[in-house]
Every structure is written in C-alpha cells, then in structure tokens.
Amino acid sequence: MISDLKYNLLVDAGDSVSRALLSRSISYNSINGILISHLHPDHYSGFAALVLQMKLNDRKEPLFIFVHHTLVKTLKDFLAASYIFIERMDFPLHFKGFNFESEILIAPGLTFISRKNTHLDEYQRYNPSLSYACGSFLFKSANKKVFYSGDIGSPDDLYLFKDDDIDIYITEASHVNFSSILSMSKALKPGKIVITHLSDENIPLIKENLMNTENDSMIMAEDGLILGV
C-alpha cells in the first residue's frame, strides 16, 4: 500500500489480499484506488473478492482501478464472471487504463509512470492474441521517488528507471538472483532496498547474503512492514 496524505493506493491484489488487510486492521473502504501490475493470479486474483467485501461493507465512495489499457476489459470480465456486476454496486468503479511511459495522476501530488518489463515475454508464443502487459512503476510524491518492480523477467529490468534518484527501491527476488540485486544497488545507490516475493526456498539464502554484505540499506519485506519517505 502506498499512502499519501488522505489517499491510499493498494498495489496488486492477490488471492489473500482481503485476509491480509483484515489481519492488519486496514478497512477495505479506506482504499481509494487499486493498481494492478499484471495478471498473474498472485497479483490480481483477489480483486473480485475485495470489491465484493467493499460492497458488503456499505462502501459509497468511488473506487479507482489503474491497469494497463489492454487489460481493462479482462478485469471487467473477471468481475462479471464472478457475478459482480458494476451496475449493481452501491459505489462507482472507475477503470483508468494507462499506457507505458505516460505519467498518471493518482491524486494531487501523487503520480506514477509505468514501464514494460520482460516478465511475461516468454508466454506470448502460447497465445499471441492475449495482452502480456506487465509493468514496473516509479511513484513520485512530495519530491520522493519509490520504485516497485512487481515481477520482472531479467536483471536488465532492475534498471528501467536508472536515470532517477530513487528513495525506496522495492524489488522481487524470485526471478533474479541476489547478486543481480547487489549489482543494481552499487550502480544505482537507492536510499533503501526492500526485497519481496520471499519463499521458503530463498529466504535462508537471502538472509545469508544480507549478513555477508556491507550494504545496510537492504531489508527483507515482512507482513506489516511500514516505510516512510
């Protein structure tokens, strides 16, 4: 979640998102917008259930959905296939389809730019009729910059915003190894690096690597982690 003043943006909505918010005592209705990076299940499959929970909690305020413009119809169809019809909602759902490389205004003083990464490129040969839009993001707020990788496909994707001075750099560690992340940290020198997508398999290795590096700006993500910029 990225929060700026009175605006709360949820970034991705995997299958356990409703439970995760509940466990942290975060009201479903406190979320003003949802940003979906791509359509792997662990990044969007909880979206329909979360929208339904908002309805059951008597939400009245509009909900803004930010997703690449080629995926808007897919998300709407996903809601309809779950028997969640926009026309029956007690609150407006506004789908905001964006293009890569365009700066998008989320709220006054809060913007993002998305750039395509290579995470889904290998899948195109299976069904070329689908959209394989998958983005990494640079959020800007009050002269601060936060990078969020979502899922990526290669170490090159770590450098999509290499010309920006990044305050917090959030990257996954399932599709790139720690040495690539360490090389990025030396080259880009972000203020803080948060490593996500931790699994039972890679947690011990990452912990060991963190102990052996002199870079104290790196931390492992954990439930409930709060970072201020």
**Residues 125-163: tens digit of each pLDDT:** 999 999 999 999 999 988 899 999 989 999 999 999 999
pLDDT for residue 24: 87
**Residues 162-175: tens digit of each pLDDT:** 999 999 999 988 88
pLDDT for residue 106: 94
Structure tokens at 186: 């030396």
pLDDT for residue 175: 87
Residues 6+ apart with CB under 8 A from 5: 107, 109
Considering the entire predicted model, what is its pTM? 0.91
pLDDT for residue 228: 64
Spans of the chain, pLDDT less than 70: 198-216, 223-229
pLDDT for residue 197: 74
Task: Assign 3-class secondary structure to the chain.
Answer: CEEECCEEEEECCCCCHHHHHHHCCCCHHHCCEEECCCCCHHHHCCHHHHHHHHHHCCCCCCEEEEEEHHHHHHHHHHHHHCCCCHHHCCCCEEEEEECCCCEEEEECCEEEEEEECCCCHHHCCCCCCCCCCCEEEEEEECCEEEEECCCCCCHHHHHCCCCCCCCEEEEECCCCCHHHHHHHHHHHCCCEEEEECCCCCCHHHHHHHHHHCCCCCEEECCCCCCCCC
